[in-house]
Amino acid sequence: MFSRQLLFIGFLFFLSIPNSYALKCQKAGSSLINDTTTITDTTAVPNSLPAGTLLWRQPTQRINVECWVDIPNMPGEKIYFYMNPGKVNLGNEIEIGVTYQGKDYLYSSLPGGKLDIGWFVNGCTENCGWQKESKSMTYSLFFVKKSPAGDNKEGPMTTLANYRAFQFDGVGGVRVGESYNVTAKGLDKFRYLPCESSISIQPNVINFGAIRPSGAVVGATIKEVPFTIIEQRTCQAAYGLGGYLEPLTASLNSAQDTLIPNDNKSVGISLINDDGQRALAFKKEFVLTPKTTSTTNSHSFQARLKWLTATPTVGEFNAGATLDIFYK
């Protein structure tokens, strides 16, 4: 009776293996399957921040992945982007998300934790893997605060240091670690901070006034207008601030350091740090306030308007930027 039960269970288990177990992906041009990304800086988080506040964002990654069905006589499959493939509980304080091909997705918003990326690979009859299919894509992992605003407190936001963030696999599920995946390391660097900072920008609207289009020279500065970013703290805890700029009603040049207004591409606007006279890069974190215990910190900048063409279009232009703040 006991032997029959074991055989019966084993038979059911064999039948229940989903077709997705026939799929495998790796980084194109290599045999890399288990990849990593590391959070190197401590991120200090006031508990007074609301749920959904962005805590950390990975620089945009462009990868080329190749996939194939690796078991003979198995049909083709759709490939999915599985977040948290190991189904590990991060706790109540933080949540993972991904920006895939320019669109943000939170793990909790994906049914079954998987994202359909619109990719299908053909099945295999024999000699599987000799004709791999590849796809190029962009992604960026991020973490947000999951818990609602509350009284400030101290301590780690999760007990985990390493966390398998995603894996490419088939429709039926995943073989964890057997297809291309990325593990995020350094989650123990997310820590609560006993106070918070408030940020003001003065002025927060910059008017360059009227400019003459005659004599325009590509790259020449037309005008500079100063502005200041001021930080006020509620305590003397030692921490720094990072900034992250995103364009608003504008595109970016190839160097990602000049706003190009959507309504008039004759001019560009760069934000220049007075300390080093360098243009701030957009979509890349920069140091706003180095680590300090000072409760008031002021930073001076210049909004630099310059010509992008020698034959400008007459008319108004409008562009903006959003500034995200990260505690360090």
Tens digit of pLDDT for each residue in 141-186?
Answer: 999 999 999 988 888 999 999 999 999 998 878 889 999 999 999 9
Q: Secondary structure of the chain: what % helix, strand, coil (to 5)?
A: 10, 50, 45
Among the candidates 178, 193, 208, a domain finishes at 193
Does residue 123 lie within any of the structural domains? yes
At 185-209, the pLDDT tens digits run: 999 999 998 888 999 999 999 999 9
126 CB-near residues (< 8 Å, 6+ apart): 72, 73
User: How many structural domains comprise the chain?
Assistant: 2
Does residue 303 lie within any of the structural domains? yes
Q: What is the CATH number of the domain that holds 297?
A: 2.60.40.1090
Categorize the per-residue pLDDT at 16 as very low, low, confident or very high, splitting at 50, 70 and 90: very low
What percent of the chain is modeled with pLDDT above 70? 93
Residues 274, 296 share a domain? yes
Instruction: Please report, for the domain that includes residue 31, its CATH number.
Output: 2.60.40
Q: CA 26 → CA 59, 64, 133, distances in Å?
A: 21, 9, 11
Do both 210 and 323 map to the same domain?
A: yes
Token pair, residue 210, equals 């009227």
Give 128's pLDDT tier (boundaries 50, 70, 90): confident
Tens of pLDDT along 211-267? 988 889 999 999 999 999 999 998 888 889 999 999 999 999 999 999 999 999 999
| pLDDT higher than 50, residue 8 | no
In a domain, 309, yes or no: yes
Residues 40 and 72 in one domain: yes
Structure tokens at 215: 């004599």
**Sign (positive/negative) of CA torsion 123, 128, 134, 139?**
positive
Residue 125 pLDDT exceeds 90 = no
Distance CA 106, CA 39 (A): 19
pLDDT band at 15 (very low <50, low <70, confident <90, very high): very low
Same domain? 138 vs 246: no
Same domain, 213 and 170: no
Q: Quick one: 158 and 114 in the same domain? A: yes
**What's the burial of 10, exposed, middle or buried (CB within 10 Å: 0-12/13-18/19+)?**
exposed
Kindly state whether residues 209 and 189 are assigned to the same domain.
no
**Domain annotation covers residue 9:** no
The answer to whether residues 101 and 28 belong to one domain is yes
**Residues 114 and 247 placed together within one structural domain of the fold:** no
Among residues 193, 217, 248, the one where a domain terminates is 193
DSSP H or E stretch at residue 24: strand 23-27
Is residue 26 scored above 90 in pLDDT?
yes
More confidently predicted of 235 and 96: 96
Rounded Cα distance between 288 and 277, Å, is 14
Model confidence at 20: pLDDT above 70: no
Q: For residue 87, give its domain range.
A: 14-193
Residues 55 and 130 in one domain: yes
Q: What band does 21 get if pLDDT is binned at 50, 70 and 90?
A: low
How much of the chain, in percent, has pLDDT values that exceed 90?
Answer: 68
Whole-angstrom Cα distance, residue 143 to residue 163? 12
The confidence score (pLDDT) of residue 213 equals 87
Q: What are the pLDDT digits (tens) for 257-310?
A: 999 999 999 999 999 998 778 899 999 999 999 999 999 999 999 999 999 999
Q: Are residues 48 and 181 in the same domain?
A: yes
Residue 65 covered by a domain: yes
Residues 178 and 244 in one domain: no
Tokens 């504008």, located at residue: 250
pLDDT of residue 13: 32
Cβ atoms within 10 A of the Cβ of 5, count? 9
CA distance 280 to 107: 31
The pLDDT score that the predictor gives to residue 124 is: 83
- Residue ending a domain, among 165, 193, 221, is 193
Rounded mean pLDDT, 33-58 = 92
Beta strands 181-185; 34-38: pairing state? parallel
Written as one letter, the residue type at 220 is A
